[in-house]
């Protein structure tokens, strides 16, 4: 028995003039509207064969503006550019290939994750680290200060090993403390600066929160291109979403910001006289360079990555920041940690 339909075009609501031109593979009658030329099959479920009742999955994502289907406009290594099928909308948007984005250098640290089997107490170690990362003291000066103040003889080579060995320990502290902070501010500032490792130029990428002056993430790389911008912004996106991202006129930030932060305004600063400038992160770069120049450069990539990670931790959690107003020893005590690890947190906070 043939089903009778009171049909209308789902696109233009025409209910009079149609062409009948065969049936779909699953047996439903197909029609074409004579007004808008739209093709459809009334009564057919939005599903494939054998999946009755479930909506058909589109091969490509829907348009974020109108919700209609899209087509692949360009396919790149780290992202895909889609365009809306509706010519009246014609919206172009980007989708990131998460599996293609490389991880940042801050996730590849080596060393110890606790203070076990150390000859000196944790208080002496954290004091030496604070003098190295918060001041301009050399390893020999720190050794002299420890001998004068605490009557403890520590070799400058031992202090140098401390400054790189405990990077994973403090990075674990950072991972546990970051969820306690509110980094969803008005602006994030992104920029890169040059450091030399064994005489070779490398680029250090930073993302800084404008309200708290907090370093959201960093990435050390021998390259200065768009894939590195994808890596650092993808790492920063794990900690929140700002209202705007401020960068210089470097074009490598354009597509990563559009694809990783949809709907977020991208402010590209042209000069220092603009209403919104990138002076905040430029000032931080000066502070970092003032610390970096006293160290006479880095000898290897791994040690440089560890030293920068430790510098970022001490800059974030040891120096006074407005982001740390809600981070108190009581909050640290509420973390799911054993007694020894809580004491390690409280030594630093």
The better pLDDT of the pair 225, 3 is held by: 225
Residue 113: inside a domain, yes or no? Answer: yes
Residue 60: inside a domain, yes or no? Answer: no
pTM of the predicted model as reported, rounded to 2 decimal places: 0.75
pLDDT tens track for 31-47: 888 888 888 888 776 65
Do 108 and 122 fall into the same domain?
yes
Do 118 and 86 fall into the same domain?
no
pLDDT tens track for 78-93: 899 999 998 889 999 9
Domain with residue 37: its CATH number is 2.20.25
Residue 62: inside a domain, yes or no? Answer: no
Residue 327: per-residue pLDDT? 47
Domain containing residue 217: 101-349
pLDDT tens track for 113-153: 888 888 888 889 988 998 998 887 889 999 999 999 989 99
Distant-in-sequence, close-in-space partners of 111: CB < 8 Å, separation ≥ 6: 164, 165, 166, 167, 168, 169, 306
| CA pair distance 30, 18, nearest whole angstrom | 10
Distant-in-sequence, close-in-space partners of 259: CB < 8 Å, separation ≥ 6: 79, 94, 95, 96
Do 29 and 172 fall into the same domain?
no
Do 92 and 216 fall into the same domain?
no
Do 2 and 22 fall into the same domain?
yes
Do 317 and 286 fall into the same domain?
yes
Residue 63: inside a domain, yes or no? Answer: no
Distances (CA, A) of 267 to 8, 66, 185, 276: 47, 26, 15, 8
Do 90 and 202 fall into the same domain?
no
Say how many residues make up the chain: 349
Do 76 and 147 fall into the same domain?
no
Residue 65: inside a domain, yes or no? Answer: no
Residue 342 neighbours by CB distance under 10 Å: 15
Do 266 and 158 fall into the same domain?
yes
Residue 261: per-residue pLDDT? 92
Asked whether 79 and 89 are in contact (CB, 8 A), the reply is: no
pLDDT tens track for 306-349: 999 999 998 888 875 544 544 444 444 444 555 555 455 445 54
Do 346 and 249 fall into the same domain?
yes
Domain with residue 332: its CATH number is 3.30.420.10
Residue 64: inside a domain, yes or no? Answer: no
Quote the number of domains for the chain.
3
Do 106 and 87 fall into the same domain?
no
Task: Dig out the tokens for 58 from the structure.
Answer: 């589109």
Helix axes 339-348, 122-134, angle to 10 degrees: 30
Do 86 and 221 fall into the same domain?
no
Residue 327: inside a domain, yes or no? Answer: yes
Residue 219: inside a domain, yes or no? Answer: yes
Asked whether 82 and 66 are in contact (CB, 8 A), the reply is: no
Residue 52 carries which DSSP code?
Answer: T
């Amino acid at each position: 028995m043939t089903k009778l339909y009171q049909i209308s075009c789902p696109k233009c609501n025409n209910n009079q003039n149609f062409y009948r031109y065969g049936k779909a593979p699953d047996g439903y009658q197909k029609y074409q509207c004579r007004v808008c030329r739209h093709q459809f099959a009334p009564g057919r479920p939005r599903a494939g064969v054998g999946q009755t009742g479930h909506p058909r999955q589109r091969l490509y994502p829907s348009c974020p503006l109108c919700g209609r289907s899209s087509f692949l406009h360009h396919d790149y290594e780290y992202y895909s550019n889609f365009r809306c099928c509706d010519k009246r909308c014609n919206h172009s948007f980007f989708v990131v290939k998460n599996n293609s984005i490389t991880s940042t250098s801050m996730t590849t640290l080596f060393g110890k994750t606790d203070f076990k089997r150390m000859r000196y107490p944790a208080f002496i170690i954290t004091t030496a680290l604070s003098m190295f990362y918060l001041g301009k003291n050399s390893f020999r000066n720190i050794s002299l200060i420890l001998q004068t103040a605490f009557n403890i003889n520590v070799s400058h080579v031992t202090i140098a090993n401390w400054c790189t060995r405990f990077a994973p320990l403090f990075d674990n502290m950072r991972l546990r403390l970051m969820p306690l902070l509110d980094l969803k501010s008005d602006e994030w500032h992104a920029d890169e600066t040059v450091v030399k490792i064994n005489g070779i130029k490398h680029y250090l990428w930073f993302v800084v929160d404008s309200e708290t002056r907090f370093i959201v993430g960093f990435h050390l790389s021998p390259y200065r291109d768009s894939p590195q911008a994808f890596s650092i912004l993808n790492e920063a996106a794990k900690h929140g979403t700002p209202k705007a991202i401020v960068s210089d006129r470097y074009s490598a930030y354009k597509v990563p910001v559009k694809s990783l932060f949809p709907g977020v305004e991208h402010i590209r600063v042209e000069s220092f006289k603009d209403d919104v400038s990138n002076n905040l992160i430029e000032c931080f770069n000066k502070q970092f360079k003032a610390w970096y120049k006293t160290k006479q450069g880095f000898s290897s990539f791994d040690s440089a990555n560890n030293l920068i990670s430790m510098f970022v931790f001490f800059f974030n959690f040891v120096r006074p920041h407005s982001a740390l107003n809600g981070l108190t020893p009581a909050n640290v005590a509420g973390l799911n940690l054993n007694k020894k690890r809580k004491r390690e947190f409280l030594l630093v906070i």
